[in-house]
């Protein structure tokens, strides 16, 4: 039974969708949490890493952690991901390489 749980947790078939409509409305699935937000930047923790949304007059229209999705409205100018969690923990940072 424990082996089965490990296999479920190690599943790497993560599906995440980003749908941007006319640079005004962004639908994101696979959301774990919204870490911070203001009218210019929203930082979202997702299954595939930290997603940063930048723009003007940005607001969170809908947040549902039950369905793991968020809808962001505003004048969206940039979407960017940071390293995913697996890459961060693997010690591939500059300091990790220096002190190896």
* 2 has pLDDT over 60: no
Domain ranges of the chain: 18-85
Does domain 18-85 fall under CATH 2.60.40.2000? My reply is: yes
* 18 has pLDDT over 70: yes
pTM greater than 0.75 (yes/no): no
* pLDDT-based confidence at residue 7 (cuts at 50, 70, 90): very low
Q: C-alpha distances in angstroms, 47 versus 3, 74, 76?
A: 23, 23, 21
Whether residue 75 contacts residue 48, with contact meaning beta carbons closer than 8 Å, is answered with no
How much is the pLDDT for 36?
A: 94
The pLDDT tens digits for 38-85 are 999 999 999 999 999 999 999 999 999 899 999 999 999 999 999 755
């Amino acid at each position: 039974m424990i082996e089965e749980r490990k296999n479920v947790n190690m599943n790497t078939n993560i599906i995440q969708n980003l749908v941007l409509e006319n640079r005004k409305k962004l639908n994101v699935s696979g959301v774990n949490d919204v870490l911070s937000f203001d009218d210019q930047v929203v930082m979202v923790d997702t299954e595939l890493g930290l997603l940063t949304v930048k723009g003007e007059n940005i607001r969170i229209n809908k947040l549902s952690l039950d369905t793991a999705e968020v809808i962001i409205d505003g004048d969206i100018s940039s979407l960017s991901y940071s390293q995913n969690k697996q890459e961060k923990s693997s010690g591939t940072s500059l300091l990790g390489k220096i002190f190896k």
